[in-house]
Amino acid sequence: MTDAPRDDDAERRAFATHVAEWLRAHLPTPPAFALPATPREVQTEQQHEWLRAWQRACWEAELVGCDVPREYGGHGRRGLQATASRALREAGAPFLVNLVALQMACPTILAHGTEAQKRRFVPGCLSADEIWCQGFSEPNAGSDLASVQCRASVRDGVWRVDGHKVWTTLARFADWMILLARTEPGAQKHAGLTYFLCPIKGHSGVTVRPLVKLTGELGFNEVLFDDVAVADELRLDERGRGWQVAMTTLLHERGAAESAGGGLAVPASPLDALVALARRVPRGTSPAIEDPWVRDRLVSLMLTARALAAHQARARVPALCDHPLRLPLQAKLLTTEWAQALAHLEMELQGAGGALLVAEPNAEQGGARSYLGSYGMTIAAGTSEIQRNILAERVLELPRHR
């Protein structure tokens, strides 16, 4: 019992074939140097340039920007990005390094930008010619994003920015930043913000300082603004509408909408690696895979992975979704907590070996450092607790705590 074929099924099939064939022919062999696990961990220029070239190749092959109109550097298709993103993921392709551009800047500019802004900025997002970072969080504005203090005021027809942004992924490599700043100091907290596209690399008054994570790795940065000039043409949407624009960005960041620019390619099934580990390592006198407790936890993770895939399928059937945001707004919370549970089990299966640095002889991949690193996911982009508040207030319509 299958549905009658839809009109665009032929196009979808042809596209899927193209993607599969291209990936078969062009999936790169890993370089001599180690690649980072995610865009957050890019450490060197060498890694960065290699990953940029990969994204550019994907864009030229029409695997990135599938659904973006041609005039903005996209490929003008409809509803095919998900197909390409899934194929990239399943092929175990390297991730797309211009993460902030694809997931946040590009959809936000497409939704709120002027025609000139779309033509100027979207192509560089897709091709990775211009790398983007996100300037939302501040030392005193994390979960409570609306209390952003970074200030922008007009002097001689030009905006001048002063402030301090933190947790800025990719800032060391970034050409541009999506920046949320306070422009109306007297206004109510949510009404006083404006959204800018701010130049970063080589721009006068901008200082980027790498932050060292609890794992000892670089990845995040803090960005200091000292009287930084930003032209009014770089303001996105109207003055005072920054909060609404930022909500568009967060909707995309948290997976509430299929990113128009591309998707985040994660390595193929980390579950496979975990099961392989359970077969390899002992627990007591027999392999861990034979331990009923280990088996139950492995199956629980597999079950949730299946359910998350089924969520995506169900989200496309409006008759099976009571509230349009109910599944999309759970995506970030569920996937990051799932990944954390996976990292935790991986560490535990390694036993005492899990406490070794990966550089130690005999150390397995992952271990305590990966597990600790997973807290980056459950804290960044709105902590799990904030996600639960948002779900309670927006989907269940419970009264706001503020």
Partner 1 sequence: MSAPTLEFDDDAARARDELRRLLGARLPRGAVRATRAPDPTAAHHGDVTPYDPALWRELSALGLAGAALPDAVGGAGLSASASVAIAEELGRAAAPCPLLSTSMVAGLARELARCAPSGGVDALSRRIVDGASATIAGASGVDSTPGFDALHRHDGVLLGAARYVADAPEAQVIVALARSEAGPVIVALERGAAGVEVIEERLVDLTRRQGTVRLDGARGQLLASGEVARRAWEAARSWLWTLAAADIVGACEWLLQTTTEYAKTREQFGRPIGVYQAVKHQLVAMMSTIDLARSLTYAAADSISRDAPDREAAARAAKAQASEAARLCAGSAIQLHGGIGFTWECDVHVWAKRALHGQLSYGDAALHRRELSRLWLDAALELR
Q: Does the protein bind partner 1 through residue 224 (CB under 8 A)?
A: no
DSSP 105: I
Q: Does the protein bind partner 1 through residue 34 (CB under 8 A)?
A: no
Task: With H, G, I as helix, E, B as strand and everything else as coil, classify residue 199.
Answer: strand
The single residue among 292, 352, 359, 362 that binds partner 1, judged by CB under 8 A, is 292
Q: How far apart are the first and last CA of the chain?
A: 50
- The contact pattern for partner 1, residues 371-390, with x = CB under 8 A and - = no contact, is --------------x--xx-
What separation in angstroms does the CA of 113 have from each of 79, 81, 399?
A: 21, 21, 33
Report d(CA 237, CA 242) in Å as an integer: 8
Q: Does the protein bind partner 1 through residue 89 (CB under 8 A)?
A: no
Cβ pair 372, 214 in contact under 8 A: yes
Which part of the chain contacts partner 1 (CB under 8 A), choosing from 26-34, 83-91, 123-131, 364-372? 83-91
The helix-helix angle for 331-350 and 270-280 (nearest 10°) equals 20
Q: Does the protein bind partner 1 through residue 269 (CB under 8 A)?
A: yes
Tell the residue number behind the tokens 């579950």, with chain if given: 271
Q: Does the protein bind partner 1 through residue 307 (CB under 8 A)?
A: yes
In angstroms, what is the minimal distance from the CB of 54 to partner 1?
Answer: 24
Tell the residue number behind the tokens 């920054």, with chain if given: 242
Which residues are catalytic, by number? 253
Count of residues interacting with partner 1 (CB under 8 A): 53
Task: With H, G, I as helix, E, B as strand and everything else as coil, classify residue 352.
Answer: helix
Q: What is the DSSP string of 127-159?
A: HTSS-EEEE--BTTBSSSGGG---EEEEETTEE
The single residue among 146, 281, 363, 391 that binds partner 1, judged by CB under 8 A, is 391
Q: Does the protein bind partner 1 through residue 286 (CB under 8 A)?
A: no
Closest CB to partner 1 among residues 14, 320: 320
Task: With H, G, I as helix, E, B as strand and everything else as coil, classify residue 334.
Answer: helix
The single residue among 218, 311, 363, 379 that binds partner 1, judged by CB under 8 A, is 311
Q: Does the protein bind partner 1 through residue 320 (CB under 8 A)?
A: yes
The single residue among 231, 303, 355, 357 that binds partner 1, judged by CB under 8 A, is 303
Q: Does the protein bind partner 1 through residue 30 (CB under 8 A)?
A: no
In angstroms, what is the minimal distance from the CB of 197 to partner 1?
Answer: 34
Report d(CA 33, CA 299) in Å as an integer: 35
Report d(CA 306, CA 302) in Å as an integer: 6
Residues that bind partner 1 (CB under 8 A): 1-3, 82-83, 86, 90, 269, 271-272, 275, 289, 292, 295-296, 298-300, 302-314, 316-317, 319-320, 326-327, 330, 333-334, 385, 388-389, 391-393, 395-401
